[in-house]
A and B are shown apart, each in its own frame.
Chain A
């Protein structure tokens, strides 16, 4: 219905992020392609914590992809994308990218960081789950930490296998590749019983795979504090559902879209709301609620205050009801 969108609008999840150029596309396997991104003018990109991901915009949607480098003062970012035909379309769009294309991405986000106090890092990957695991392995080698890797992939269809093998040495002391379930079960069972004291385990792959590895580890007596699994975006607030606010004093109704905060919506409408942190902790942007149940997502209000539903922090909180009425 709209005219040709030459410049699709920036998705809220990548706002304040980076505008990068595709500098290389290389096929890893039949279904997995690696895409390298760099600043169009060249130069350094922000460092990132090993195991971090980028949120990448494709058309009007976004997807999160793990970065495969160590994160130490990079001049390019590399992600690998598995083509999922029945997905929302992100991976298909990513597979269409060519050298020279520009993409909007978030700054790197960390939700799968290595534990600084680990004596050894046991890295376990399945399929495309190799991407953050490779990042961890590279960082361990760079920092002189000790790591070993178990990598499950289809025969002759392992992405980044060559890079993982090239890391073997004093940092990455072992790489076990498994191409069938049975051999993996044995390798994992053996590994879980023979790690040095103080080892942390990191797992990335399909959810059922991660659950099975974590369950096996726990049943062997591993404490949860030493088990880490990739959970995209778990550290950030989700963009939430759209809702309406009715401003009682002016009678104005405003639509708050998904991914846009109530505070931003009010500011756009010309309302000046005192605010400081914009993260739900300082308490400055409190608003009185006359009707409707806010979805409280702040760290400021007490449980009683939240239950009373008479105030809300408009920088992060949203609405459980389709409409909220504010004393504004």
Chain B
């Protein structure tokens, strides 16, 4: 864990926005799990540009990903669930995030609240709505589905009780190889049980203590990563039959550089101000290897990380069958 000096690539200005804004997660040539949390909304420079200035990030995929989410939800309603005691937390999350977006994107969005009457305008969707804070029926599909139609992030709400975090509500359509429906109602340690190494390294219990000590209004973030074949957002356990087999064929696919994506999650951890619940946002970014390779420092770092990653971690991330092919391709250029 060393601090690194990031030198911006001289040709970075010529790169497309999807590369310049990409939250490249590797600071060095190796990767291990760590509690890599830092305060939210701090601009993070990369060799190709920067990311992270806003809590809710909106990019060129905004409308496409929201349309994709709507399709997933109509096929599989188990991707959204709110245990009854989490209703105040859902409303807290909705008003917190809408007012944050209005501040960050004043040209396209605005949020006004008088008492419990709220007005939200979203120019990107030609949308103007009025609703009543706390009244589920004032939004056609309820407050959580509505929030899920305004932000690209997956939304998870954890209740804080008995000195433990409980996953008691959420809307998750873009899971990276896990099942929201399976995890609802579990506590923090149960959710993370399958992750290798972290129990020995006490990362999960430390992370939970950290989250329990956050004061309402505090906002932190971290990144996590895996790899995905195709620009596929929904890689949940529920759809495994559709995407699982790609993992054994991609290594020999001549189109691997275009098909194989680095999948980075920018995760926000927010202690909500009024309910005190913990809001966990997961914003998924996908960038194909062909684009990674256009930034020489990224190509090298990712190539070395994939080559060095211990087998148990590669196995858990589901990349063990093709990580060598990907690493070889990146380092051969």
Question: Which A residues lie at the B interface, using CB under 8 A?
Answer: 44, 46-49, 52, 71-73, 107-110, 113, 115-117, 142-143, 225, 235-236, 274, 276-284, 299-300, 302
Q: Which residues of B line the A interface, CB within 8 A?
A: 1-3, 34-39, 85-86, 88-89, 92, 95, 113, 116, 133-134, 159-162, 202, 206-207, 209-210, 213, 215-217, 220, 273-277
- Please state if A49 and B276 are interface contacts (CB–CB under 8 Å): yes
Bound-state Cα–Cα, A57 to B88, Å: 32
Q: Is the CB of B89 within 8 A of A116?
A: yes
Residues of A within 8 A of B36 (CB): 276, 282
* A143-B134, A274-B2 as given contacts; A299 in contact with B273, CB under 8 Å: no
- A52/B216 in contact, CB under 8 A: yes
The A interface, classified by DSSP as helix, strand, loop or mixed, is loop
| Docked-complex contact A116 and B37, CB < 8 angstroms | no
Q: How far is the CA of A116 from the CA of B113 in the complex (A)?
A: 25
For residue A274, which residues in chain B have a CB less than 8 angstroms away from its CB?
1-3
Sampled A-B contacts (22; CB under 8 Å): A46-B273, A47-B274, A48-B216, A48-B274, A49-B216, A49-B274, A49-B276, A71-B273, A71-B274, A73-B113, A110-B216, A274-B1, A274-B3, A276-B38, A277-B35, A278-B39, A281-B35, A281-B206, A282-B35, A283-B34, A283-B35, A300-B206
Asked if B220 and A277 sit within 8 Å, CB to CB, the answer is: yes
The complex places the Cα of A300 from the Cα of B39 at a distance, in Å, of: 17
Q: Quick one: given A73-B133, A279-B210, A299-B209, are A113 and B159 in contact (CB under 8 Å)?
A: no
11 additional contacts (CB under 8 A) given A235-B215, A281-B35: A71-B274, A73-B116, A107-B217, A108-B273, A115-B161, A116-B161, A225-B162, A274-B2, A277-B38, A279-B210, A282-B38
Contacts of B133 in A (CB 8 A): 72-73
Tell me, in angstroms, the Cα distance from A225 to B277 when the chains sit together.
18
**Do A48 and B273 contact each other (CB < 8 Å), given the known contacts A113-B160, A225-B162?**
yes
B67 to chain A, nearest CB (A): 32
Q: Is the CB of B159 within 8 A of A117?
A: yes
A143 touches B210 (CB 8 A): no
User: Which of B88, B134, B215, B277 is in CB contact (< 8 Å) with A109?
Assistant: B215
Q: Which residues of B contact A110 (CB under 8 A)?
A: 215-216, 276
B273 touches A277 (CB 8 A): no
For A284, the chain B residues whose CB sits under 8 A away are 1, 3
Nearest residue, chain A, Cβ from B2: A274
Q: Are A49 and B275 in contact (CB under 8 A)?
A: yes
Task: Give chain B nearest CB distance to A225 CB in angstroms.
Answer: 5
Most buried by A among B1, B2, B86, B274: B274
Closest CB in chain B relative to A219 CB, distance in Å: 21
Closest residue on chain B to residue A142 by CB atoms = B134
B160 contact set on A, CB distance < 8 A: 113
Whole-angstrom distance between the alpha carbons of A277 and B213 in the complex? 13
